[in-house]
A and B are shown apart, each in its own frame.
Chain A
Amino acid sequence: MRQIQQMLADQVYIADAGIATALYLSMALGKPLLVEGPAGVGKTEIAKALANAVDTKLIRLQCYEGLDATTALYEWNYPKQLLHLKLEESSSASEAEKEAAIFGEAFLLKRPLLQAITEHERAPVLLIDEIDRSDEEFEAFLLEVLSDFQVTIPEIGTIKATHRPHVVLTSNRSRDLSDALRRRCLYHWIDYPSLEKELEIVRAKVPAVGKVLSQRLTRVMQATRTMGLSKIPGVAETLDWANALVALQATELNDEIMAETIGCFLKDEADIATFKATQVTD
């Protein structure tokens, strides 16, 4: 586990013991890992860092409402099939031969899930991002794929995974996931980081921001999260802000710099007003 933590640290991902344990178990048991947490705390980054750490491909499936099997799994390349049939029109091949030809792998468009299953070299990391945005039908379908890691294409047959992919699912909790899916996964919750951890993250990701400044800006961010804003800024916003400060060559957080860069971490007018009001009373 320490090893995993170190491996992630090499990818500039500051993992605490919880994340490292969850990843370790996910690999040891071959179970998918479901990561939940507020927006911008690095849920997606976990999968990226993991893929880099074990030096394998990252296959990402971004979920959205209306996502269905043809966009997630596979689809036939119809134009190519039609073209092929037209070209073959005059040939003497029988109907069966023609059919076999156009329903071969060459005419198959592999979507992320099928890609992950047919990855030959080594087990890829399959990131199923924002699963809560897809609808229940897709979740049920996913359940089937995740339990067997095999896919049946009527025209070709059953394709079984050569290497079981490491699966990471992320969710923002915008809707309840089904119990069945939850039970099939290991669970991990990422919360907003503590001051120390956030500081560590900022210093690792944006080393150019100085020691003093990083300390100050993380403090501001930590305070911001307790103000009861409508859009609480995540770590991603902290990093954006740190980068902005570096780009502006700021050395301290004065009012002017704050006013210029507040848009990096507060994206709502009412929130900005609240922030300013709170600051004055500080």
Chain B
Amino acid sequence: MEIENLVAFCRALRERGLSVTPPEVVAAATVLQVIDTSDRDEVFLSLRSVLTTSVDDFPVFGELFETFWNRSPRKLVERDSGTTVRARNVSQPKGLAFFLENWSASVRAGAEAVKVPGASDIDSRAQKVFADFSHEELEQISQLARRIVRRLASKPSRRWQPVARGHRVNLRRSLRLSLKTGGELIDLAYKRRRAKRTKLVVICDVSGSMDMYSRLLLQFVYGLQNSFAKVESFVFATSLSRITGELKNKTYRRALDRLASNVHGWSGGTRIGASLANFNVQWLRRIDKRTVIIILSDGWDTGEPEQLAQALSKLKERAGRLVWLNPLLSNSSYQPLTRGMQAALPFINVFAPAHDLASLRALEPHLVL
């Protein structure tokens, strides 16, 4: 592979979302000098170890390597721009942002006919459903999120931090101080345990029946995540997607845009059990006793309740607390009778409504372990 070819290859990788920066390109070029470049496998393995940073990059790498290996440099430049354009077009499916736009537009147009039990009694400001929230109210949600984050940071960790007055002597500092007084320990320095943060995992149902609530919770999760808490967020309808990265954005609008371009299967049917089982396979190891798991769903599962029960029992075993938010619960006549909900109930620590700001506020004490 010639150097021009290599650079183009690196650019193509970057286009496809791999973290290939100039230092990597330089490293790759260096690599080509120390290996046998006529051996295809050797080049493949070497470049892969330099240019990828995760096993998730392997398929893209393999695919592009195939096209770039044995290609003449000139042809490549032409073809390269072509693939770039195609890649951009492909990565713009209609998604959440598109859907939300339409949805909120329909509400604004007076389509209040969306009959949702939880939202039926709109008497105070806090009881409004999320779609009509003003800037001010969005700010309130963020404030609430920040307050919760502060409360989450209350467990002692194994790490120490120096403090002016405490119970444990900070020997290192005290010794240092004692040098002032000729090696005699007079002033003691202290240390205490640092506070440890509780981790939060939010798994949000975005299937058709949950649309407006998931939007509220996503806003809330966004607030949490941008207050430097350890929050992992996932959405599911028929399959599970991790959206932690998408929500780590400066503005909510941009976060939604990114979400929209990355998440498939919004607002389809619901397969809670399968999605949670999938969560367990991929992410269960991140869950520990300091993790609070919040599941937001109305419990309308089209899958088998046994699967849901099994997945939840596994989660419960690992997690510190399992909170299930069901927006339908705010309706006093609601009974959790769906098969999915029935299967889930034995494993849930907290079963609470979540349809407005007030219910989120009530959630606060449950999030602190």
Q: Which residues of A contact B (CB under 8 A)?
A: 1, 17-18, 21-22, 24-25, 28-29, 31, 33, 36, 65-66, 68, 75-76, 78, 81-82, 85, 89, 95, 98-99, 172-175, 179, 182-183, 185-189, 228, 230
Contact = CB atoms under 8 A, between A and B. Distances in A.
A66 B42 contact: no
Given A179-B19, A230-B280, A78 B52 contact: no
Contacts of B50: 25, 186-187
A17 B171 contact: no
A228 B277 CA distance: 11
A99 B178 CA distance: 11
A81 B175 contact: yes
B27 A29 contact: yes
B19 A21 contact: no
Identify the interface centre among B35, B48, B54, B171: most chain A CB within 10 Å of its CB: B54
A179 B53 contact: yes
B157 interface: yes
Contacts of A17: 41-42, 45
B250 interface: no
Given A17-B45, A66-B159, A95-B182, A182 B30 contact: no
A85 B45 CA distance: 57
28 contacts: A1-B42, A17-B41, A17-B45, A18-B49, A21-B35, A21-B45, A21-B46, A21-B49, A22-B49, A25-B46, A25-B49, A28-B31, A29-B34, A33-B49, A36-B55, A68-B159, A76-B172, A99-B179, A172-B285, A174-B285, A179-B19, A179-B53, A182-B19, A182-B54, A183-B24, A183-B53, A186-B50, A187-B54
Contacts of B285: 172-174
Chain A to chain B: the 8 pairs with minimum beta-carbon distance, closest first: A66-B158, A182-B53, A189-B55, A21-B45, A85-B183, A186-B49, A174-B285, A22-B49
A141 B30 CA distance: 27
B23 interface: yes
Contacts of A95: 179, 182-183
Given A29-B31, A78-B175, A187-B54, A21 B314 contact: no
B232 to A, nearest CB: 9
Contacts of B286: 174-175
A1 to B, nearest CB: 7
Interface string B15-42: 0000101011001001100110000011
B58 interface: yes
B314 A230 contact: yes
Interface string B148-172: 0000000001110000000000011
A98 B54 contact: no
Identify the interface centre among A76, A78, A187: most chain B CB within 10 Å of its CB: A187
Contacts of A68: 159
Interface of B: 19, 21, 23-24, 27, 30-31, 34-35, 41-42, 45-46, 48-50, 52-55, 58, 157-159, 171-172, 175, 179, 182-183, 280-281, 284-286, 314
Contacts of A36: 54-55
A183 B21 contact: yes
Given A25-B31, A29-B27, A81-B175, A89 B45 contact: no
A50 B157 CA distance: 36
Contacts of B58: 189
A24 B159 CA distance: 38
Contacts of A99: 179
A175 B19 CA distance: 18
Contacts of B175: 76, 78, 81-82
Contacts of B159: 66, 68
A78 B41 contact: no
Contacts of A82: 175
Contacts of A24: 35
Contacts of A28: 31, 34
A18 B27 contact: no
Contacts of A98: 183
A188 B172 CA distance: 40
B158 A22 contact: no
B187 to A, nearest CB: 15
Nearest to A232: B281
B355 to A, nearest CB: 33
A219 B41 CA distance: 28
A51 B46 CA distance: 21
Nearest to B171: A78
A37 to B, nearest CB: 8
Identify the interface centre among B34, B46, B49: most chain A CB within 10 Å of its CB: B49
Nearest to B159: A66
A36 B52 CA distance: 12
B195 to A, nearest CB: 13
Given A85-B183, A95-B179, A187-B52, 19 more contacts: A17-B42, A18-B45, A18-B49, A21-B42, A25-B34, A29-B27, A33-B49, A65-B158, A75-B172, A98-B183, A172-B285, A174-B286, A183-B21, A183-B53, A185-B53, A187-B48, A187-B49, A187-B50, A187-B53
B23 A183 contact: yes
Contacts of A25: 31, 34-35, 46, 49-50
Contacts of A179: 19, 53
B49 to A, nearest CB: 4
Given A29-B31, A76-B172, A174-B285, A183 B19 contact: yes
A188 B19 CA distance: 16
